[in-house]
Amino acid sequence: MTDSQKFDLIVIGGGPGGYVGAIRASQLGQKVAVIEKENLGGVCLNWGCIPTKALLRAAELKNNISHLSEFGIEIEGSVNINLEKVVARSRQVAERLSGGVSHLMKKHKVTVIKGVAKINKKISGGWQIAVEGERKSTVEATNIMLATGARARQIPSMEADGDKIVTYRDAMVPKTMPKSLMVVGSGAIGIEFASFYNDMGVDVTIVEAMDRILNVEDREISDLAHKSFEKRGIKIHTSAKLEAITKSKNDVTATITIAGKQQKITSDRVIMAVGIIGNTENIGLEKIGVKTEKGHIVTNGFGATNVAGIFAIGDVTGPPWLAHKASHEAIICVEAMTNQSDVHPIAENSVPGCTYCRPQIASIGLTEDNAKAEGYEIKVGRFPLLANGKAIAMGEDEGLVKTIFCSKTGALLGAHLIGAEVTEMIQGYAIARTLETTEAELMHTIFPHPTISEAMHESVLDAFDRAIHF
């Protein structure tokens, strides 16, 4: 690569949004480069979505082993955890997939530049970007797509130190397993780590500032999750204000206030999971006048910023902070950028969300409270997994499928699930919303038996007083 090499599109950031956008642009005949300072795949693949699922799978297997006698399988002796191997496998999974992304870049003739990128200046026909890597260089592009992602938000005076107070990144590669753990924040990240460590035998406490855990989820699902976690022995404090954290040689003590009363919680370690903030600094945005709000880049529905030729997608543009949303945004952005026909912004409330704790949680669309607040007259269907044959056979009959419909049009407004494998099932409702399906089509769809997905069908039937098995 020469310092003067020119591209149609340069993507800054090689995460699930950046590399997907680069591939799509290449498919459309663009000359593309990706500038990535660390590993291809970004936080999701290397330090988020993928390696956490490997950890959670280990925890799931450990939990399953403890119930084997219920299935007539008996194991003599104790079950031991080799933490080093658990962590090593999660890292191997991430490395394998990152290598796969490298292969995709070569396959689609996308140039990968290792280094830190900063937009230098506007030039004739595009932009100049400075790259600091093994050596300093500059590259040029007609268009730039910013896919720089986000990082864990820190609380002043309670910043992570990588030892006693940690973020998701450190929590993913523990050298030792703590006896006790406090998780601050109960979004998807906090809940997944709480679930993992609890299944690994750690005494877990969750501290949440809002009045309930998993605040973005439907209230009924949130309440069921709360009960399930407490049944497992996880202690939960909601409406709790974190006042201070003090560290000693062996532990951490948090001071929290609930209903005006202070109390102290001491644990071996604290995971801070209080949200994320976009990586907007030091990439030249101020210099060229790109608009940001509350730490995120402002874009329209096609990824365009207020500056011509500068686009942005993914976590750096704000919530929902989800890899699949970033990937889809990247494709929309590239197709709009290259003037493809039939390009549409992501439809509102059509991004599914998944939390891979035990039990799993998945949702799409409006919650019951939000649907009412928006003025809809609704019909709500529910089907508990305790009435589902496959769930009972699996020994996983804890859970619920809840569907919300507009009573006037039959439109599926939202679906909210908790239970075994619901993160795999939510896509059925995602497709239904994309197709603008009404209750009629869902009722007439044949669901295979025996599957947990039958609960999806029964929930729809229940909304219209036609449930068969409950």
Better-predicted residue by pLDDT, 76 or 358: 358
> Per the domain annotation, does 251 fall within a domain?
yes
What tokens does 166 get? 């940690």
pLDDT at 192 exceeding the cut of 80: yes
| H-helix or E-strand spanning residue 384 | strand 378-384
- 25 and 85 inside one domain: yes
- 264 and 283 inside one domain: no
Instruction: Report DSSP state, residue 68.
Output: G
What is the number of domains present in the chain? Answer: 3
- 314 and 270 inside one domain: no
- Give the Cα separation of 258 and 260 in Å (integer): 5
Q: What is the CATH number of the domain that holds 375?
A: 3.30.390.30
- 261 and 298 inside one domain: no
Q: Are 279 and 148 in contact (CB under 8 A)?
A: yes
- 115 and 130 inside one domain: yes
pLDDT digits 0-9 by tens, 136-179: 999 999 999 999 999 999 999 999 999 999 999 999 999 999 99
What is the set of active-site residues? 449
Last residue of a domain, one of 274, 295, 319: 274
- 189 and 88 inside one domain: no
pLDDT digits 0-9 by tens, 31-58: 999 999 999 998 888 888 899 999 999 9
> Per the domain annotation, does 71 fall within a domain?
yes
> Per the domain annotation, does 350 fall within a domain?
no
Domain housing 184: 176-274
Task: Read off the pLDDT band of 399 (50, 70, 90).
Answer: very high
Nearest alpha-carbon partner for 400 in 377, 412, 384: 384
**Percentage of residues in the chain having pLDDT higher than 90:** 93
Last residue of a domain, one of 303, 337, 371: 337
- 127 and 207 inside one domain: no
pLDDT digits 0-9 by tens, 117-134: 999 999 999 999 999 988
Task: Output the pLDDT for position 2.
Answer: 46
> Per the domain annotation, does 53 fall within a domain?
yes
pLDDT at 27 exceeding the cut of 50: yes
> Per the domain annotation, does 345 fall within a domain?
no
End-to-end CA distance of the chain: 65
Residue-wise DSSP of 177-208: --SEEEEE--SHHHHHHHHHHHHTT-EEEEE-
- 97 and 57 inside one domain: yes
pTM exceeds 0.85: yes
Task: Output the pLDDT for position 300.
Answer: 96
Supply φ then ψ for residue 296, to 5 degrees.
-130, 150
pLDDT digits 0-9 by tens, 207-253: 999 999 999 999 999 999 999 999 999 999 999 999 999 999 999 99
> Per the domain annotation, does 284 fall within a domain?
yes
Task: Output the pLDDT for position 4.
Answer: 63
> Per the domain annotation, does 170 fall within a domain?
no
- 286 and 397 inside one domain: no
Task: Output the pLDDT for position 445.
Answer: 97
- Give the Cα separation of 359 and 391 in Å (integer): 12
- 242 and 230 inside one domain: yes
> Per the domain annotation, does 298 fall within a domain?
yes
pLDDT at 260 exceeding the cut of 90: yes
- 34 and 146 inside one domain: yes
Supply φ then ψ for residue 122, to 5 degrees.
-80, 135
Q: Are 218 and 402 in contact (CB under 8 A)?
A: yes
- 258 and 281 inside one domain: no
Task: Output the pLDDT for position 44.
Answer: 85
The angle, 0 to 180 degrees and rounded to 10, between the axes of the packed helices 454-463 and 422-434 is: 50
Q: What is the CATH number of the domain that holds 267?
A: 3.50.50.60
Query: How confident is the prediction for the chain on average, in pLDDT?
Result: 95
pLDDT digits 0-9 by tens, 71-124: 999 988 888 999 999 999 999 999 999 999 999 999 999 999 999 999 999 999
Sole residue written with tokens 């040689």: 249
**Percentage of residues in the chain having pLDDT higher than 70:** 99
Task: Read off the pLDDT band of 3 (50, 70, 90).
Answer: low
Q: Residue 215, Cβ neighbours under 10 Å: how many?
A: 14
pLDDT at 428 exceeding the cut of 70: yes
- Give the Cα separation of 152 and 164 in Å (integer): 16
